[in-house]
Structure 1
Amino acid sequence: MRVLLFICMFFSTSIFANNLNDLNYITESYPPFNYNENKELKGLSIDVLEAATKAVGEPVSRSKVKLQPWARGYDAALKGPKVALFATTRTEEREPKFKWVGPIIATKVVVFSNKNVTVSDPSELGKYKIGVVRDDVGEALLKKVGVPASAMKVSPGADLLIKQLAAGRIDMLAYEQSVATYLMKAANVDPSKFNVAYTLSEGQLYYSLSSDTPDEYVNKLQKGLDQISQSGELDKIKSQYQ
């Protein structure tokens, strides 16, 4: 009887053990880190997710990841349950809101100008109309340095803002430098026409997990990321996007 009980307990715990496929994965169009091409999700952070989860024996397919506008995905990650949002810039303001796995890769958030303007003091930014993506790190960083909301043109995505910058309808754009450059080229907008007026932050991109996510998932995903980092696979993935 005891043996039967033990067997039942073993199989019940095995069947219901936490698996990384239990998480709800959400990303946005943020190339070259994550984006949709020919109805398939691609990008550095997508490749890293597949490799890291495979390394711990719980492979998560890119087909499981939902592509959503950033503001919607960010709201879902704040509310849960068990949401993994990426790629997310880790900031002091965001730190207590999520559980973090990373880093994935370095990131730089800058303010592009279409008027060859260079800003030495962030207080000067309030004089310009600056495009930002709703709930994006660029918007948060501008608020942190005291730029008023009235100086910001808020949009659900960066594509429209890039067109407005090129047309002179906004003076500046606050966004991740590599992503903005990628989107400019995709929209046939010459990046050399703009200059970096101000650097808001230099940091790292992470997977941000909703605060309700059990630590077992967080630790497991971090373990997978650490393993591919130590094996050199992470650097190999990064090299494909340079």
Structure 2
Amino acid sequence: MTSSPNILCVALLLLCLAPSVWADSIRVVTEDGSFVYLRQGKVAGPATEVVEATLAHAGLDDYRIGLYPWARAYDSALREPNVLIYLIARTDEREALFHWVGEILRIDYHLYRLPAREDIQVDELGQAKPYRIGVPREDVRYRYLQGEGFAKLVVSASSADSIKLLFNGQVDLVPLSERAVELYCDEAGLARNCLERVFTLNLATGLYMAYSLQTDEDVVLRTLAAFEHLHAEGLVARTMSPVR
């Protein structure tokens, strides 16, 4: 993410100042997934570590993190002040709706089936249209497939719910990242090939931290500068690495 020199200068100046008392605490929202999850009652995961490290470096310690269905988290970040959402795909449609403060991860999505469903063969995107596809509500995958004319989308609250629908035979395919599949299979105590890739979508996307437009500008600038500093130091890449 590229920032103008003037913005960075202002942000770095703010970081040098003593931490201020903000009018409102920051509400951090996210969903359960491959890089974010509950552990001993606390929101954890590598993406959460990046967010917490960024806020700490920015001197912003008055925040709380909540785990919600994606549609609810997204709606909060769209409508409420002082909300930070992660991991959110940065798309042309969303560009002007948020303050974007850092790309945490870049991923590709693929369509997966159960290995036993050898009847499902997809050599081009259109061949997947007859199948029921599980997607999280308001997710970038939902928007992408809807835009491509898919009519058999089965909407759920999260990717984890979509995978459950796949194993229950309620959907035929689920769009996931390779890392998401590996983590799911590991956590379920299954072999890494518990799901089988059948097609790669033309949907490479960056997953970001972003603030609601009603967020205090100083908060946005401090977070932006802190993230870019940690990114330059390699902390983001190390934290998000699959070898942990």
Same fold (TM over 0.5): yes
Contact 2:106 2:206 in 1 (8 A): yes
Per-residue Cα deviation, 1:18-54 (whole angstroms, up to 9, x for no partner): 48x73211111112x2110111221112111121122
* Residue of structure 1 equivalent to 2:7: none
Cα RMSD (Å): 2.5
Q: 1:169–1:56: structure 2 CA closer, same or farther, 3 Å change rule? A: closer
Matched, 1:66 2:66: yes
Alignment partner of 1:27 out of 27, 30, 41 = 30
Q: Which structure has the bigger radius of gyration?
A: 1
Matched, 1:158 2:159: yes
Per-residue Cα deviation, 1:147-199 (whole angstroms, up to 9, x for no partner): 12xx1111112333213313433110123442243224323454514114232
Of Structure 1 and Structure 2, the greater helix share is in 1
CA–CA distance in 1 between the matches of 2:176 and 2:96? 23
Displacement of 1:226 in angstroms is 0.8
2:53 is paired with a residue whose SS is helix
Aligned-residue identity in percent: 25
In the alignment of these two chains, the number of paired residues is 223
Q: 1:135–1:206: structure 2 CA closer, same or farther, 3 Å change rule? A: same
* Residue of structure 1 equivalent to 2:93: 93
1:76 is paired with a residue whose SS is helix
TM-score by length of 1: 0.81
Q: Can you give the 5+ residue segments of structure 2 that lack an aligned partner in the other structure?
A: 1-17
1:45 is paired with a residue whose SS is helix
Displacement of 1:132 in angstroms is 0.8
CA–CA distance in 2 between the matches of 1:195 and 1:156? 22
Contact 1:119 1:198 in 2 (8 A): no
* Residue of structure 1 equivalent to 2:11: none
* Residue of structure 1 equivalent to 2:186: 185
Contact 2:82 2:214 in 1 (8 A): yes
Alignment partner of 2:130 out of 127, 132, 138 = 127
Q: 1:217–1:196: structure 2 CA closer, same or farther, 3 Å change rule? A: farther
Whichever residue aligns with residue 237 of structure 1, its letter is T
Whichever residue aligns with residue 160 of structure 1, its letter is D
Q: Can you give the 5+ residue segments of structure 1 that lack an aligned partner in the other structure?
A: 1-13
Displacement of 1:207 in angstroms is 0.8
* Residue of structure 2 equivalent to 1:6: none
TM-score by length of 2: 0.80
